[in-house]
Homo-oligomer: A and B are copies of this chain.
Amino acid sequence: MTELVSNQLNSKDKENSVEILCIGSELLLGSILNSNAKWLAEQLASIGLEHFRQTVVGDNLERIKQTIQEISNRSRILITTGGLGPTPDDLTTEAIATAFNTRLVESKEILIDLEEKYKLSSEKMPTINKTQALHPEGADLIQNPTGTAPGIIWDPKPGFTIISLPGVPSEMEKMFSINAINWLKSNLLIKDVIMSKTLKFTGISESSLAEKVGDIMSGENPTIAPYASLGEVKLRITAKAKNHRDAKKLIMPIETKLLKIGKKFYFGSNDETLASVVIKSLKEHSETISIAESCTGGALGAALTSIPGASDVFLGGVIVYSNWIKHHFLGVPLDMLERNGAVSSSVAKEMAKRVREKFQTDWGLAITGIAGPAGGTQDKPVGLVHFGIASQSIIKSIQVNFSSHKTREEIQQLSVIRSLDLLRLFMHNQS
């Protein structure tokens, strides 16, 4: 596990420690995702700042105040988002002032800025916006280039700084990138650079991969953290060093070891996806592909076309959801469908072969299976999927049972992942 955070809170830890507090009842009601916390977390990690806790509270003066006081006792920096607007439920400015017994004063500069912004929009400034010029006495203000809510940078007590930013993501991001980050860089001792590389694997479970990787996982610098999502396992290597070159040097040998261990299952790094890797590989080989989907109903095509420029290599496909269509449109023989069933190795192969011929592509890829919840039998349970792959030289099929405990959506998504992996492996073996 990447341990940006150390094991004990001692005075050394407090030196640079950062927390994030997101304020807004809409977060407690589950109306929106907390994208601000994610964005700030990424920014902090990229400049190597420790950040060990995120908190969300609603638009409640007492709770905001209490939470800020708590944080001021254990951390060096608090970054807040939200609650700086003009309406009565915007309470952040008042809360931080009362938390440290400080009175609010009006900023003439901000008031003029607000009035000018309203002039530009040829709208009259509502009286309630005046409250946005208030700030705790002694605090610095951060101009908001696009919205009305100014930000605040303030040291209410020795060794504690609070940076308050608005909740609107675009405003918050701009103000953090322009002002807050400079403040952090020039006021904190940022000694180290933190660098990460993510390796992505498929066709293996998180625990099996972790077991294979073994002792390497327990290193302290770089650290290795595994993350699992549907059909995919990631290993994130994170190194701490004086500069980027040194961090890279720490990552490289670990990366090499991990790639050697997980070779069979590794498909890409960082932002790469199975679809992007397959599209890239097809482009490199100047090859084209067409697809025939049954139980995934278009999801494989959607995955391929989610990649910009997919049209260079992906010519199209057919969604053949009924037996009659498999026969009539793709030419899968009726007696084969009757004898073996639509979910069978022979039909998967036939679909791949025939779609490849029809579309005149280098590769044909086919999926036929039972996504459920209905349609399963003892012989062919929900979760049984046959994949077919065809090129000039090969026609193959593989059978996978994704288990009937999985949902329809999971079986469909896992089928897409597996089919792309199958193509990736075949292309790899060929070249």
Contacts and interface: CB of A to CB of B under 8 A. Distances in A.
Interface in A102-152: 120-121, 123, 126-129, 145-146, 148
A170 B306 contact: no
A45 to B, nearest CB: 5
A35 interface: yes
B306 A296 contact: no
A60 interface: yes
A8 interface: yes
A423 to B, nearest CB: 15
A411 B3 CA distance: 39
Given A297-B305, A319-B318, A27 B3 contact: no
Interface in A387-421: 403, 405-410, 412
B297 A301 contact: yes
Contacts of A410: 146, 170
Contacts of A33: 33-35, 38
Which of A67, A305, A308 has the most CB atoms of chain B within a 10 A radius of its CB? A305
Given A30-B40, A225-B25, A207 B51 contact: no
Interface residues of A, number: 122
Given A123-B208, A236-B31, A405-B146, A53 B57 contact: yes
A318 B321 contact: no
A405 B171 CA distance: 11
Nearest to A43: B30
A329 B316 contact: yes
Given A33-B34, A207-B87, A291-B319, A27 B54 contact: yes
Contacts of A121: 403
A177 interface: no
A57 B310 CA distance: 39
Copies, count:
2
A55 B58 contact: no
B314 A297 contact: yes
A86 interface: yes
A271 to B, nearest CB: 12
A409 to B, nearest CB: 6
A254 to B, nearest CB: 16
Nearest to A148: B207
A177 B145 CA distance: 44
A125 to B, nearest CB: 8
A183 interface: no
Nearest to A57: B53
Interface stretch (A210-218, A241-249, A331-339): A210-218
Contacts of A156: none
A309 B373 CA distance: 9
Given A297-B310, A412-B306, A4 B30 contact: no
Given A297-B304, A305-B412, A208 B126 contact: yes
A5 B30 contact: no
A49 to B, nearest CB: 11
Contacts of A7: 60-62
Given A59-B1, A293-B298, A306-B408, A88 B31 contact: no
22 contacts: A1-B87, A3-B59, A3-B60, A4-B29, A27-B38, A29-B45, A30-B38, A30-B43, A30-B44, A30-B45, A32-B227, A54-B54, A170-B230, A297-B301, A298-B304, A298-B305, A302-B302, A308-B374, A311-B321, A316-B325, A318-B318, A319-B319
Given A6-B60, A31-B236, 7 more contacts: A30-B39, A30-B40, A54-B54, A123-B208, A128-B211, A298-B302, A309-B374
Closest 8 CB pairs of A and B: A298-B301, A297-B305, A1-B89, A30-B42, A30-B41, A298-B298, A54-B56, A299-B302
